[in-house]
Structure 1
């Protein structure tokens, strides 16, 4: 996947990374995005001035910071929309009534941009395959067609705003290459800095006299599943043993619950497993697509969250056992 352009996170410039990963090149810099933001600020100021420059509303407006950018490098959806407009591209809110009435299968779209708590990232189709181009990842993450709808649904449940990209994206090398070949991904990319954090945790654990039975938890950070281990330092041996025993009981109970959830929905497990293994053959994905999608659509939001988390918990535990 060397041909895929993937700009990694620098500071808080995720809007820039999102745009450049979408367009597959260094199309925008912080200076250019700041210029767009300043233009939007000026347009807003002129509209406010129409009500009178001596008005209280105008005075308050001038005292407020820009809503289109800040010193950390954050840029608003208006800035992103205007930047995409330069390329003749538009954004449509994915869960809006107007879009949902079109009943378009997500796999037939070209790209999505996602936002949660000022973090932006791109999900784009290159050739016939989908990739998560989150700048917080060490590299592109392959998403199978079977898994795409579930991935977007989970993002929505976690509070993400998702926008569909409408229009013709500029040609890029990765798209040209992946039109004639498919790629497989043997190992999923990690979060930037995850290896360092894990090494730090392992170093902290060395020399402790008691057994660590902390429960691995699967969390979603900007759409990426990562392992997070609860690790607390105690001052007394008695307190450590009591809490470890309690954590172990909780771990065993949750493990049994997760296994029961998986057994209730084998089709969902198969759909997620296809994604975790990388791309399947076009024939096998097509054969299972309609059945898996119908099963997913019958789930409630809470079931969707629990079952996806249950799978990832067991998958991560399996990875830990292998190492």
Structure 2
């Protein structure tokens, strides 16, 4: 795991972290992403000016803030797409009907970037294994081939927009090492906030010792938004895992957590009870329009970083 590049959350720069974790290196900084955003803003201004700089539409456009970035560290999907274009990479909406009709097994792809409200993160294949490189985690999270499709389906159900990365990713040390060996993960990484809370509760540690340099408030916001999509109450989390196992028809023998969950599910839920509770669970899930993960300048709304 040590060879895997994993940039952790800093302020609200998850778009930067998402890109760097995807490319496995410090390839983009806020300054470079801001430059791309400013170029996009200028291109939009030129297009709007074609209709006349004295028009009401042009004046309204110029009064609106940038649709591609803001002072908090937000960058739009257009900025991310252009940044990836530097490397000859393109993105395709995984959630789209056109892509789903191709019935491509996710394990045959190379990487995905995922977006929900104020957060971006990367899921990438390194060697022959998949990893969740979410910057809000304390480290990379190993995802088995069996679980990958269920993981992506769960993200979709929770409202995430998912994009497939197409093209040749740059060579990296982790990919080279993991081509000739496989890694195992005995313990899943925690969310950064959970790790800090545990350290604060330990004797000899104060809150000030574990806060990130001046970014406490921004980090708390990012963690709260992440938990909206990633965490549920314990009972619902157990039910979700049981649902996944029932949909899968069994557990992944390589996943210790799956084996434990399978045993617990079989002990506590009959097939009929599981079907009933699964239907109730899905009936109360919100729907989410994933047609756009970017922010229109005149809409007054702000999508994910």
Same-fold call, TM cutoff 0.5: yes
Segments of 5+ residues of structure 1 without an aligned counterpart are: 204-218, 229-253, 280-298, 307-323
Aligned to 2:227: 221
Counterparts of 1:264 and 1:33 in 2: how far apart (Å)? 38
SS in 1 for 2:131: strand
* RMSD between superposed Cα atoms in Å: 3.3
> Residue by residue, what CA displacement relative to the aligned partner does 1:108-154 show, whole Å, maximum 9, x if unpaired?
00000000012100000000000000000000000000110010001
Aligned to 1:73: 73
Aligned to 2:48: 48
SS in 2 for 1:181: coil
Aligned to 1:113: 113
The alpha-carbon distance between structure 1 residues 53 and 273, as it changes in their structure 2 partners (threshold 3 A), is farther
How does 1:85-234 map onto structure 2 within 5 Å?
85-198=85-198, 221=227, 224-225=230-231
The alpha-carbon distance between structure 1 residues 265 and 138, as it changes in their structure 2 partners (threshold 3 A), is closer
Following TM superposition, by how much is the alpha carbon of 1:221 offset from its aligned partner in structure 2, in angstroms? 2.7
Following TM superposition, by how much is the alpha carbon of 1:102 offset from its aligned partner in structure 2, in angstroms? 1.4
Counterparts of 1:89 and 1:263 in 2: how far apart (Å)? 35
The alpha-carbon distance between structure 1 residues 108 and 265, as it changes in their structure 2 partners (threshold 3 A), is closer
Q: Is the 8 A contact 2:159 2:229 kept in 1?
A: no
Following TM superposition, by how much is the alpha carbon of 1:274 offset from its aligned partner in structure 2, in angstroms? 4.4
The alpha-carbon distance between structure 1 residues 222 and 14, as it changes in their structure 2 partners (threshold 3 A), is farther
Q: TM-score under structure 2 normalisation?
A: 0.72
The alpha-carbon distance between structure 1 residues 191 and 265, as it changes in their structure 2 partners (threshold 3 A), is closer
The alpha-carbon distance between structure 1 residues 266 and 98, as it changes in their structure 2 partners (threshold 3 A), is closer
Following TM superposition, by how much is the alpha carbon of 1:5 offset from its aligned partner in structure 2, in angstroms? 0.2
Q: Is the 8 A contact 2:116 2:229 kept in 1?
A: no
How does 1:225-304 map onto structure 2 within 5 Å?
225=231, 262=242, 268=248, 270-271=250-251, 274-277=254-257, 302-303=281-282
Counterparts of 2:41 and 2:131 in 1: how far apart (Å)? 34
Counterparts of 2:158 and 2:202 in 1: how far apart (Å)? 30
Q: Which has the larger radius of gyration?
A: 1
Q: TM-score under structure 1 normalisation?
A: 0.68
Higher relative contact order (CA 8 A, sep 6+): 2
> Residue by residue, what CA displacement relative to the aligned partner does 1:295-319 show, whole Å, maximum 9, x if unpaired?
xxxx87945999xxxxxxxxxxxxx
Aligned to 1:15: 15
The alpha-carbon distance between structure 1 residues 13 and 265, as it changes in their structure 2 partners (threshold 3 A), is closer
Following TM superposition, by how much is the alpha carbon of 1:265 offset from its aligned partner in structure 2, in angstroms? 5.7
The alpha-carbon distance between structure 1 residues 143 and 15, as it changes in their structure 2 partners (threshold 3 A), is same
The alpha-carbon distance between structure 1 residues 269 and 198, as it changes in their structure 2 partners (threshold 3 A), is farther
Q: Is the 8 A contact 2:150 2:244 kept in 1?
A: no
Q: How many residues align?
A: 245
Following TM superposition, by how much is the alpha carbon of 1:196 offset from its aligned partner in structure 2, in angstroms? 3.0
Following TM superposition, by how much is the alpha carbon of 1:90 offset from its aligned partner in structure 2, in angstroms? 0.2
Q: Is the 8 A contact 2:18 2:122 kept in 1?
A: yes
> Residue by residue, what CA displacement relative to the aligned partner does 1:272-313 show, whole Å, maximum 9, x if unpaired?
67445499xxxxxxxxxxxxxxxxxxx87945999xxxxxxx
SS in 2 for 1:60: helix
Counterparts of 1:19 and 1:69 in 2: how far apart (Å)? 15
> Residue by residue, what CA displacement relative to the aligned partner does 1:183-228 show, whole Å, maximum 9, x if unpaired?
000010001121333566899xxxxxxxxxxxxxxx9737645777
My pick for the range that moved more, 41-50 or 187-196, is 187-196
Segments of 5+ residues of structure 2 without an aligned counterpart are: 204-224, 260-277, 286-305
The alpha-carbon distance between structure 1 residues 9 and 124, as it changes in their structure 2 partners (threshold 3 A), is same
Aligned to 1:6: 6
